[in-house]
Protein backbone atom coordinates (compact mmCIF):
# COMPACT_ATOMS: atom_id res chain seq x y z
CA UNK A 1 0.00 0.00 0.00
CA UNK A 2 1.24 3.49 -0.86
CA UNK A 3 1.90 6.29 1.58
CA UNK A 4 4.09 6.92 4.58
CA UNK A 5 3.77 4.40 7.43
CA UNK A 6 1.21 5.21 10.09
CA UNK A 7 3.29 3.32 12.67
CA UNK A 8 6.95 2.32 12.41
CA UNK A 9 8.34 -0.03 15.06
CA UNK A 10 12.12 0.09 14.89
CA UNK A 11 14.27 -2.47 16.75
CA UNK A 12 11.88 -2.60 19.70
CA UNK A 13 13.36 -4.47 22.67
CA UNK A 14 11.45 -5.23 25.87
CA UNK A 15 12.89 -7.14 28.82
CA UNK A 16 11.62 -8.46 32.15
CA UNK A 17 13.84 -8.25 35.21
CA UNK A 18 14.07 -11.54 37.09
CA UNK A 19 16.09 -12.80 40.04
CA UNK A 20 18.59 -14.31 37.60
CA UNK A 21 18.82 -11.19 35.43
CA UNK A 22 16.92 -9.50 32.60
CA UNK A 23 15.03 -11.77 30.20
CA UNK A 24 14.33 -10.48 26.69
CA UNK A 25 10.70 -10.95 25.65
CA UNK A 26 10.80 -8.78 22.50
CA UNK A 27 14.13 -8.77 20.69
CA UNK A 28 14.79 -5.93 18.21
CA UNK A 29 11.40 -6.24 16.52
CA UNK A 30 10.79 -4.01 13.49
CA UNK A 31 7.72 -3.60 11.27
CA UNK A 32 5.50 -0.95 9.70
CA UNK A 33 1.75 -0.47 9.46
CA UNK A 34 0.48 1.69 6.63
CA UNK A 35 -2.78 3.66 6.48
CA UNK A 36 -5.73 1.35 5.88
CA UNK A 37 -3.64 -1.81 6.27
CA UNK A 38 -4.10 -4.88 8.44
CA UNK A 39 -0.88 -6.46 9.68
CA UNK A 40 -1.10 -9.85 11.34
CA UNK A 41 1.43 -10.66 14.06
CA UNK A 42 1.33 -14.45 14.37
CA UNK A 43 3.16 -17.09 16.36
CA UNK A 44 2.88 -19.58 19.19
CA UNK A 45 1.77 -18.58 22.68
CA UNK A 46 4.63 -17.01 24.61
CA UNK A 47 6.54 -15.76 21.56
CA UNK A 48 6.19 -12.08 22.53
CA UNK A 49 3.15 -10.96 20.52
CA UNK A 50 1.17 -9.49 23.41
CA UNK A 51 4.26 -7.88 24.96
CA UNK A 52 4.87 -6.20 21.60
CA UNK A 53 1.32 -4.81 21.67
CA UNK A 54 1.66 -3.57 25.25
CA UNK A 55 5.01 -2.00 24.38
CA UNK A 56 3.44 -0.06 21.50
CA UNK A 57 0.79 1.26 23.89
CA UNK A 58 3.47 1.88 26.56
CA UNK A 59 1.52 -0.28 28.99
CA UNK A 60 4.39 -2.57 30.01
CA UNK A 61 4.71 -2.46 33.79
CA UNK A 62 7.44 -3.59 36.17
CA UNK A 63 9.24 -5.93 36.13
CA UNK A 64 8.95 -5.32 32.36
CA UNK A 65 10.60 -2.35 30.66
CA UNK A 66 11.36 -1.15 27.14
CA UNK A 67 15.13 -1.00 26.76
CA UNK A 68 15.61 -0.09 23.11
CA UNK A 69 14.12 0.91 19.80
CA UNK A 70 11.70 3.56 18.59
CA UNK A 71 7.92 3.67 18.17
CA UNK A 72 7.14 6.24 15.50
CA UNK A 73 3.46 7.12 15.13
CA UNK A 74 2.92 9.63 12.32
CA UNK A 75 6.54 10.63 12.77
CA UNK A 76 6.31 11.15 16.55
CA UNK A 77 8.40 8.97 18.83
CA UNK A 78 5.90 7.57 21.32
CA UNK A 79 8.72 6.43 23.57
CA UNK A 80 9.85 10.02 24.08
CA UNK A 81 6.40 11.40 24.97
CA UNK A 82 5.64 12.39 28.56
CA UNK A 83 3.05 10.08 30.11
CA UNK A 84 0.40 12.83 30.06
CA UNK A 85 0.81 13.16 26.29
CA UNK A 86 0.81 9.38 25.83
CA UNK A 87 -2.52 9.18 27.65
CA UNK A 88 -3.96 11.48 25.02
CA UNK A 89 -2.70 9.12 22.30
CA UNK A 90 -4.14 5.97 23.90
CA UNK A 91 -7.74 5.51 22.91
CA UNK A 92 -7.92 8.67 20.81
CA UNK A 93 -5.28 7.84 18.17
CA UNK A 94 -4.25 4.27 18.93
CA UNK A 95 -6.77 2.01 20.66
CA UNK A 96 -6.42 -1.55 21.91
CA UNK A 97 -8.83 -4.47 22.02
CA UNK A 98 -7.62 -6.58 24.92
CA UNK A 99 -7.53 -10.36 24.97
CA UNK A 100 -9.92 -11.08 27.86
CA UNK A 101 -13.22 -9.12 27.82
CA UNK A 102 -14.14 -10.07 31.40
CA UNK A 103 -10.90 -8.62 32.78
CA UNK A 104 -10.75 -5.67 30.38
CA UNK A 105 -14.27 -4.51 31.27
CA UNK A 106 -14.97 -3.13 34.75
CA UNK A 107 -17.53 -5.45 36.36
CA UNK A 108 -19.07 -2.76 38.63
CA UNK A 109 -19.94 -0.24 35.89
CA UNK A 110 -22.46 -0.60 33.10
CA UNK A 111 -21.15 -0.84 29.59
CA UNK A 112 -22.80 2.50 28.85
CA UNK A 113 -20.92 4.16 31.70
CA UNK A 114 -17.63 2.70 30.44
CA UNK A 115 -18.23 3.94 26.91
CA UNK A 116 -19.29 7.36 28.21
CA UNK A 117 -16.16 7.60 30.37
CA UNK A 118 -13.92 6.89 27.38
CA UNK A 119 -15.65 9.65 25.39
CA UNK A 120 -15.49 12.11 28.31
CA UNK A 121 -11.80 11.49 29.08
CA UNK A 122 -10.88 12.42 25.52
CA UNK A 123 -13.29 15.35 25.38
CA UNK A 124 -15.51 13.80 22.71
CA UNK A 125 -18.86 13.92 24.57
CA UNK A 126 -20.34 14.16 28.06
CA UNK A 127 -23.66 13.79 29.84
CA UNK A 128 -26.61 12.93 27.62
CA UNK A 129 -24.46 13.32 24.54
CA UNK A 130 -22.09 10.62 25.79
CA UNK A 131 -24.98 8.26 26.50
CA UNK A 132 -26.42 8.82 23.03
CA UNK A 133 -23.00 8.23 21.51
CA UNK A 134 -22.62 5.03 23.56
CA UNK A 135 -25.92 3.74 22.18
CA UNK A 136 -24.81 4.58 18.64
CA UNK A 137 -21.53 2.71 19.19
CA UNK A 138 -23.35 -0.39 20.48
CA UNK A 139 -25.61 -0.25 17.45
CA UNK A 140 -22.57 0.08 15.15
CA UNK A 141 -21.05 -3.13 16.53
CA UNK A 142 -24.36 -4.98 16.15
CA UNK A 143 -25.38 -5.26 19.82
CA UNK A 144 -29.12 -6.12 19.78
CA UNK A 145 -31.42 -3.61 21.51
CA UNK A 146 -28.62 -1.12 22.25
CA UNK A 147 -30.94 1.25 24.17
CA UNK A 148 -31.60 -1.52 26.67
CA UNK A 149 -28.15 -3.11 26.66
CA UNK A 150 -26.42 0.19 27.40
CA UNK A 151 -27.46 -0.25 31.04
CA UNK A 152 -26.25 -3.86 31.31
CA UNK A 153 -23.22 -4.94 33.30
CA UNK A 154 -20.52 -7.06 31.64
CA UNK A 155 -21.66 -10.27 33.37
CA UNK A 156 -25.08 -9.92 31.75
CA UNK A 157 -23.60 -10.25 28.26
CA UNK A 158 -22.38 -13.30 26.37
CA UNK A 159 -18.70 -13.68 25.48
CA UNK A 160 -19.30 -12.59 21.90
CA UNK A 161 -21.27 -9.52 23.01
CA UNK A 162 -18.56 -8.54 25.50
CA UNK A 163 -16.02 -8.73 22.69
CA UNK A 164 -18.25 -6.43 20.62
CA UNK A 165 -18.34 -3.99 23.53
CA UNK A 166 -14.52 -3.96 23.57
CA UNK A 167 -14.57 -3.18 19.85
CA UNK A 168 -17.06 -0.35 20.53
CA UNK A 169 -14.72 1.02 23.23
CA UNK A 170 -11.80 0.90 20.80
CA UNK A 171 -13.84 2.75 18.14
CA UNK A 172 -15.27 5.35 20.53
CA UNK A 173 -12.81 8.14 19.70
CA UNK A 174 -12.32 7.22 16.02
CA UNK A 175 -8.63 6.23 16.30
CA UNK A 176 -6.49 5.72 13.22
CA UNK A 177 -4.98 2.46 14.48
CA UNK A 178 -6.44 -0.40 16.50
CA UNK A 179 -4.30 -3.07 18.14
CA UNK A 180 -6.41 -6.22 18.52
CA UNK A 181 -4.83 -8.79 20.83
CA UNK A 182 -6.32 -12.24 20.14
CA UNK A 183 -9.85 -10.81 19.67
CA UNK A 184 -11.39 -14.22 18.96
CA UNK A 185 -9.76 -16.27 21.71
CA UNK A 186 -12.17 -18.50 23.69
CA UNK A 187 -15.04 -17.86 21.27
CA UNK A 188 -16.71 -20.68 19.35
CA UNK A 189 -16.22 -20.84 15.61
CA UNK A 190 -19.53 -19.19 14.68
CA UNK A 191 -19.03 -16.24 17.06
CA UNK A 192 -15.40 -15.97 15.95
CA UNK A 193 -16.46 -15.60 12.33
CA UNK A 194 -18.91 -12.87 13.32
CA UNK A 195 -16.25 -10.92 15.23
CA UNK A 196 -13.83 -11.12 12.30
CA UNK A 197 -16.54 -9.98 9.89
CA UNK A 198 -17.30 -7.08 12.25
CA UNK A 199 -13.62 -6.06 12.36
CA UNK A 200 -13.46 -6.06 8.56
CA UNK A 201 -16.65 -4.00 8.38
CA UNK A 202 -15.49 -1.48 11.00
CA UNK A 203 -12.09 -1.18 9.34
CA UNK A 204 -13.72 -0.24 6.04
CA UNK A 205 -16.36 2.02 7.61
CA UNK A 206 -13.94 4.01 9.78
CA UNK A 207 -10.84 3.88 7.56
CA UNK A 208 -8.82 2.08 10.22
CA UNK A 209 -5.43 0.46 10.25
CA UNK A 210 -5.29 -2.74 12.27
CA UNK A 211 -2.58 -4.70 14.05
CA UNK A 212 -4.10 -8.15 14.57
CA UNK A 213 -2.32 -10.40 17.04
CA UNK A 214 -3.24 -14.07 16.75
CA UNK A 215 -1.87 -17.58 17.04
CA UNK A 216 -4.42 -18.74 14.45
CA UNK A 217 -2.99 -18.73 10.93
CA UNK A 218 -6.46 -19.24 9.49
CA UNK A 219 -7.65 -16.01 11.11
CA UNK A 220 -4.62 -14.16 9.72
CA UNK A 221 -5.23 -15.55 6.22
CA UNK A 222 -8.81 -14.34 6.23
CA UNK A 223 -8.34 -10.73 7.32
CA UNK A 224 -4.72 -9.57 6.96
CA UNK A 225 -2.94 -7.74 4.13
CA UNK A 226 0.52 -8.62 5.46
CA UNK A 227 1.79 -11.07 8.06
CA UNK A 228 4.76 -10.99 10.43
CA UNK A 229 5.70 -14.36 11.91
CA UNK A 230 7.19 -14.21 15.41
CA UNK A 231 9.31 -16.82 17.18
CA UNK A 232 11.06 -16.49 20.56
CA UNK A 233 10.72 -12.72 20.62
CA UNK A 234 11.93 -12.11 17.05
CA UNK A 235 10.13 -11.61 13.75
CA UNK A 236 11.51 -14.37 11.54
CA UNK A 237 9.49 -13.66 8.38
CA UNK A 238 7.31 -10.85 7.08
CA UNK A 239 5.50 -10.28 3.81
CA UNK A 240 2.20 -10.03 1.94
CA UNK A 241 -0.31 -12.55 3.23
CA UNK A 242 -0.55 -14.45 -0.06
CA UNK A 243 3.22 -14.75 -0.35
CA UNK A 244 3.57 -15.98 3.23
CA UNK A 245 0.94 -18.68 2.77
CA UNK A 246 1.86 -19.71 -0.78
CA UNK A 247 5.66 -19.31 -0.64
CA UNK A 248 6.83 -19.34 3.00
CA UNK A 249 10.57 -18.74 3.09
CA UNK A 250 11.49 -19.42 6.72
CA UNK A 251 11.60 -23.01 8.00
CA UNK A 252 9.48 -22.04 11.02
CA UNK A 253 6.75 -20.55 8.84
CA UNK A 254 6.76 -23.68 6.66
CA UNK A 255 6.57 -25.87 9.76
CA UNK A 256 3.64 -23.87 11.16
CA UNK A 257 1.71 -24.17 7.92
CA UNK A 258 2.46 -27.89 7.67
CA UNK A 259 1.07 -28.41 11.18
CA UNK A 260 -2.32 -26.88 10.31
CA UNK A 261 -5.27 -29.23 9.80
CA UNK A 262 -5.92 -29.73 6.09
CA UNK A 263 -7.36 -32.70 4.25
CA UNK A 264 -9.50 -34.88 6.55
CA UNK A 265 -7.62 -38.03 7.50
CA UNK A 266 -4.26 -36.56 6.57
CA UNK A 267 -1.62 -36.85 9.29
CA UNK A 268 -0.40 -33.55 10.74
CA UNK A 269 3.30 -32.73 10.70
CA UNK A 270 4.68 -31.92 14.14
CA UNK A 271 7.51 -29.46 14.75
CA UNK A 272 10.46 -31.22 16.36
CA UNK A 273 11.55 -30.15 19.85
CA UNK A 274 10.09 -27.32 21.91
CA UNK A 275 10.28 -23.54 22.13
CA UNK A 276 13.38 -22.44 24.08
CA UNK A 277 12.77 -20.87 27.46
CA UNK A 278 13.04 -17.05 27.60
CA UNK A 279 16.53 -16.16 28.72
CA UNK A 280 17.92 -19.45 27.45
CA UNK A 281 17.96 -18.89 23.70
CA UNK A 282 20.65 -20.61 21.64
CA UNK A 283 23.58 -18.49 20.47
CA UNK A 284 22.53 -18.51 16.82
CA UNK A 285 19.10 -18.82 15.24
CA UNK A 286 16.49 -19.36 17.97
CA UNK A 287 14.70 -21.90 15.76
CA UNK A 288 17.95 -23.68 14.86
CA UNK A 289 17.73 -26.61 17.30
CA UNK A 290 14.27 -27.51 15.91
CA UNK A 291 15.03 -26.82 12.25
CA UNK A 292 15.44 -29.67 9.77
CA UNK A 293 17.35 -27.34 7.40
CA UNK A 294 19.95 -26.17 9.91
CA UNK A 295 23.67 -26.16 9.21
CA UNK A 296 26.76 -25.04 11.11
CA UNK A 297 26.35 -21.28 10.67
CA UNK A 298 22.88 -21.41 12.26
CA UNK A 299 24.38 -22.25 15.66
CA UNK A 300 26.79 -19.32 15.87
CA UNK A 301 25.10 -15.96 15.13
CA UNK A 302 21.44 -14.91 14.81
CA UNK A 303 20.71 -14.40 11.10
CA UNK A 304 19.83 -10.93 9.78
CA UNK A 305 16.91 -10.17 7.48
CA UNK A 306 17.27 -11.28 3.87
CA UNK A 307 15.03 -10.10 1.04
CA UNK A 308 13.23 -13.20 -0.28
CA UNK A 309 10.65 -11.64 -2.58
CA UNK A 310 8.74 -8.42 -3.25
CA UNK A 311 8.17 -6.87 0.20
CA UNK A 312 9.04 -10.21 1.82
CA UNK A 313 11.95 -10.85 4.19
CA UNK A 314 13.14 -13.76 6.31
CA UNK A 315 15.77 -14.27 9.00
CA UNK A 316 17.37 -17.41 7.60
CA UNK A 317 20.88 -18.19 6.35
CA UNK A 318 19.36 -20.34 3.60
CA UNK A 319 18.82 -17.03 1.78
CA UNK A 320 22.28 -15.56 2.36
CA UNK A 321 23.79 -14.49 -0.99
CA UNK A 322 27.12 -16.06 -1.87
CA UNK A 323 28.72 -12.60 -1.95
CA UNK A 324 28.34 -12.23 1.83
CA UNK A 325 30.85 -14.97 2.49
CA UNK A 326 28.37 -16.74 4.77
CA UNK A 327 28.81 -20.51 4.38
CA UNK A 328 25.80 -22.06 2.73
CA UNK A 329 23.96 -25.23 3.73
CA UNK A 330 25.63 -28.59 3.13
CA UNK A 331 25.27 -29.90 -0.40
CA UNK A 332 23.91 -33.23 0.83
CA UNK A 333 20.66 -31.55 1.88
CA UNK A 334 18.97 -30.72 5.18
CA UNK A 335 19.55 -32.74 8.31
Residues 141, 192 contacting (CB under 8 angstroms): no
Predicted local confidence at residue 51, as pLDDT? 96
Alpha carbon 310 to its chain's center: 22
Alpha carbon 158 to its chain's center: 24
- Continuous H helices in 70-126: 83-89, 101-104, 111-121
pLDDT in tens, the chain (335 residues): 457 899 999 999 999 999 989 999 999 999 999 999 999 999 988 899 999 999 999 999 999 999 999 999 999 999 999 999 999 999 999 999 988 887 889 999 999 999 999 999 998 888 889 999 999 999 999 999 999 999 999 999 998 999 999 999 999 999 999 999 998 877 788 888 888 999 999 999 999 999 999 988 989 998 999 999 999 999 999 999 999 999 999 999 999 998 887 756 677 788 888 888 888 899 999 999 999 999 999 999 999 999 999 899 999 999 998 745 555 555 444 44
Biggest CA pair distance of the chain: 73
Predicted local confidence at residue 264, as pLDDT? 65
Sorted by where each begins, the domain ranges of the chain are 102-174
Predicted local confidence at residue 334, as pLDDT? 41
Q: What's the full length of the chain, in residues?
A: 335
- Dist CA 192 CA 169 (whole Å): 18
Quick one: DSSP state of residue 105? S
Alpha-carbon separation of residue 164 from 115, 146, 334 (angstroms)? 12, 12, 47
Name the residue among 174, 238, 231 with its Cα closest to residue 206.
174
Alpha-carbon separation of residue 233 from 29, 62, 64, 82 (angstroms)? 8, 18, 14, 27
Give the torsion through C-alpha atoms of 62, 99, 245, 323, to 10 deg.
-10
| CB atoms closer than 10 angstroms to residue 150 | 21
Give the torsion through C-alpha atoms of 285, 288, 291, 294, to 10 deg.
90
- Dist CA 93 CA 273 (whole Å): 42
Q: What predicted TM-score, i.e. pTM, was given to this entire model? A: 0.91
Residue 127 neighbours by CB under 8 Å, 6+ apart: none
Predicted local confidence at residue 326, as pLDDT? 59
Amino acid sequence: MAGAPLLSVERLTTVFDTASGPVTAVDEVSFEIRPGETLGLVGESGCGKSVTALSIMRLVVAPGRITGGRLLYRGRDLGALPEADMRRVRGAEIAMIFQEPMTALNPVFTIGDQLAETLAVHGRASGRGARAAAIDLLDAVRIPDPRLRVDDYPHQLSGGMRQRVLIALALACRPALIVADEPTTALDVTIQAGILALLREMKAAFGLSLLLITHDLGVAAGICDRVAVMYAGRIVEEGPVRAIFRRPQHPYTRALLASMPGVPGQRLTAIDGSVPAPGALPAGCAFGPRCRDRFDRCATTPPPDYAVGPEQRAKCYLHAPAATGVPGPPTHGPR
